Structure 1
């Protein structure tokens, strides 16, 4: 009996010791800096993750306070602020169809009581892979029925449809319906699959530099062509200087020190750095760096962590892809800054999924080759960047200018976000919706025609015809 008590005492002591050790390890892991410490210290965080993080956030899952805050770890308002800090601008641009204000409006109190969509974490819950769908959504697929259970009465075309089909490709997106709302579908019906005029918007950076008086340091970099004599003495070999002379930087008055000399603090001398990072680029390319940091390529840097490497991706990457951190020069090169090479080779140097591997044999790749050879006019080429980093109009210092969206995820999930800024530059809305809804066609990099047809436009036309018939009947009844 005494032996049993003694043995149980040791077991309890061991249990308390292990509990204390685990608690201490968890506390210590949370005290570590946010720069994802390497093993074995990094294990103190990864071991205590409550579950796998979604594809959208796994790059920064060790920077816990980015989402949870440093004090009130799981407070709803803290996490809501963290969500909007990264995604508010994107939702505003999308003209969010379900903004927070809709669920805080007293007129919608009854609906808000059924679904508290005023907080992002109501739908987007992390660390629960068993119930997580695309884009971190953890609600049932038919949650639209909570508010729209009478939709068939308003739109007879929807009679008999299941609520788990609302978010099907080419139909509805909860936040972004810029290319799927009914009036837009009707407006762009009956267009040919391939438009007569097909061009990619041109960048106009050099044309508006002088107007960007707040965001571009025109006094430091006057718009003038530089020569070899303008390069700092003793910096770089002949090859480096030759590469620089062929770039837009040399033509815009920016020499080596423009990137390699860090602007000094007040009262301190200027310092030369051999490897300038994205902060040097943001001196002139503020919008590009801002969007780069918002995407998967740069989100770790934005969270104060080491740069992402291809080895950390969850999608297929080439086995020989560089394992160094991804920054601006990873795609653009350190001195040549070749945007043509960055637009395709920069992507295919790492990505090895079926869609990427099929690019070389795709019709889009042929367009790029023909533009390069002069067979097609400028603006005809379609590259990886054309679709995944499209040229969009931005407003800076009250100046509208066309620049590249460097957040490669902005038009990726859901893929219908590509419709307006990308696909419809060359194709009809119907063809584009069908193509994005065809998984096999996407895997082949759009080699061929869609084998899927989405009825969204046909339904919108029927509803428009029905509404017009009702208006005519009402007018006729009023005349009588």
Structure 2
């Protein structure tokens, strides 16, 4: 056999083997598909990085396809953000020169995936001085900004590209001079939630429990359930284990020992919706698949499994690595202890410096005092108080507004200045809040101590107000 023929055979075999590996990777996912990623995914999306079709909805689509994919998940969030750089600003013909420098009409201009070498901690891939492209003459109008590097705009606790509500000049002026800790430091919505610290008498008792007889033999499960708000509110066993079944025979036939999270959604739709928007539950979002359709449709798509703790990029407890995150991961299968879920469920998994420092913080002491009844309801600060704050939402099940915990733990966290209005200012003054969130070492200590960072934005605003007043007086 000639050398040319051998090379041809080697090329054909190599092509078939490579093609087989590629096909297997696309069909079966897992480590094989992960090996095909063209670069590390950002921390915001790495949980769904193997669900390629979540963003690449068309194999031949370009920027328009990716833009639509971004908006399919984040459109409501952007609408609620009071965007200070809305699309209409860049579609204005008067800003055509700015659009030529920075195509701000496309999400992927800033938020790119698989580009780890140029991706910052918030998933932004542009250089830190990108603000200069449009605001190069800001020092002319605001002398306070002269000689300040443009790479500090988004990192000094001053400016957020999409939402500057907590940092608008009139807001800074209105809240200048506030004391570090307010006299009445209380989280009002959490106080109004009316979660009882002491058990109440259940409306449902074991005597009227509609579970099959063989399911009522575990006394611990019975006692746990009787102490829950479910039993107190009259939610019977079949409500979760055999929904919509009333007859004993129907309940026995339809009974499932481990109900899916879809059952929780029937009563807790707002909580479930926000859960699937955050890192804890985003793999359970409707439509996310871990496999693409196979050749000629032979292979079926497969939904992503729940997030496993070992998938996290933050330091996590090794004891929790095998745990999967669903509703009952934090709330328990029959206990549904909201108090436990607000702290212990978090600290049982998270092992970063900030979390480890929590039990040495003044926030934790306040939390313990509230639980003990020493301090009023709403004065304690749990993990969930800051990272899953209460908010008013419209409940589609009841067509009314109610207070719920926002289970998207990233909603007010990245960038962390988003926490100023929704969390920090419930108890602290604006200046203290801005300085504290700009102090990375203070954050690691879970805010034990005073900020060592001074953000001068309020001082600048006060100076501008004085200058305006002086100019008026001299007219």
TM-score by length of 2: 0.88
In structure 1, the partner of 2:143 is 156
Q: Which runs of 5+ in 1 are unaligned?
A: 208-223
Structure 2 unaligned blocks of 5 or more? 196-201, 289-302
Distance (whole Å) between structure 2 residues aligned to residue 296 and residue 403 of structure 1: 19
Matched, 1:138 2:125: yes
Superposition pairs of residues 22-421 of structure 1, within 5 angstroms = 22-30=18-26, 32=27, 37=28, 42-69=30-57, 71-203=58-190, 225-233=203-211, 234=213, 235-236=215-216, 237-263=218-244, 271-302=254-285, 303=288, 304-396=303-395, 399-421=400-422
Secondary structure of the residue that 2:10 maps to in structure 1? helix
Aligned residues of 2:279 and 2:409 also touching (Cα < 8 A): yes
Work out the CA distance in 2 between the residues paired with 1:26 and 1:101. Answer: 43
Q: SS at the partner of 1:402?
A: strand
2:10 is equivalent to residue 14 of structure 1: yes
Residue matched to 2:299: none
Shift of 1:306: 0.3
State the 1:150 CA deviation: 1.4
Distance 1:205 1:370 in 2: 18
The superposition leaves residues 133-165 of structure 1 with CA deviations (integer Å, 9 ceiling, x where unpaired) of 122111111000111111112212111111111
Q: Distance in 2 between matches of 1:55 and 1:12?
A: 44
Structure 2 match to 1:433? 434
Superposition RMSD in Å? 2.2
Deviating more after overlay: 230-239 vs 52-61: 230-239
* Alignment check: 8 A CA contact 2:42 2:114 kept: yes
Determine the structure 1 residue equivalent to 2:451.
450
Seen in structure 2, the aligned counterparts of structure 1 residues 23 and 108 have a Cα distance that, compared at 3 Å, is farther
Report the secondary structure of 2:85's partner residue.
coil
Cα deviation code 1:237-293 (max 9, x no counterpart): 2221211111111121211111112458xxxx6622211122111111111000000
Residue pair 2:269, 2:395 contacting (<8 A) in 1 also:
no
Aligned residues: 442
Write the distance in 1 (CA, Å) between the matches of 2:373 and 2:273. Answer: 34
Q: Is the 8 A contact 1:155 1:463 kept in 2?
A: no
Secondary structure at 1:160's aligned position in 2? Answer: coil
Q: How much does 1:324 deviate? A: 2.8
